[in-house]
Each structure stands twice: as structure tokens, then as C-alpha cells.
Structure 1
Amino acid sequence: DEVREKMKSRYLSNPDYNFEKVNRASMACGPMVKWATAQ
């Protein structure tokens, strides 16, 4: 649960942290963003 809270506060609350932008920068990281936001 502690890791989830860190992810929410550091990354998931950032509007620039979305699949389209991350996938454009790195096609390997795009699917990880989809997975992280689904958790």
C-alpha cells in the first residue's frame, strides 16, 4: 500500500503521465503506464 501511495502522489496525479505521452517517448514504457494506471 505504501508503494501505491507513492505512485499516486508522485506520478499518477501528474496530468502529463499518460499513455500517449509516455508511449511517444518510449514504446517500452507506454504499456507499463497502462498497467500502473490500471492498478
Structure 2
Amino acid sequence: MFIPYRPTTLIKLRLISRFWAIRHSRAIHLITSLAGR
């Protein structure tokens, strides 16, 4: 388990993971909507 030395790194990782999750979910939604047609 990775323990960050500073809390700022953890906050950045959370923000990045959330941002990527939103982008990934949008990409999956677009792909599924295109494939569903």
C-alpha cells in the first residue's frame, strides 16, 4: 500500500482519479450509444 508523504499528493491523486473516471465514463457512454445504433 502506497502512503504519500504529503497530504497534497493524496488530494491531487483523488482529483486526477475523479477527473479520469468522469472522462472514462463519458467515453464508455459514447461508445455504447454508437454501438447500440
Indicate whether the TM-score tops 0.5: no
Specify which structure has the higher proportion of helix.
2
TM-score by length of 2: 0.35
TM-score by length of 1: 0.34
Give the structure with higher Rg (CA): 2
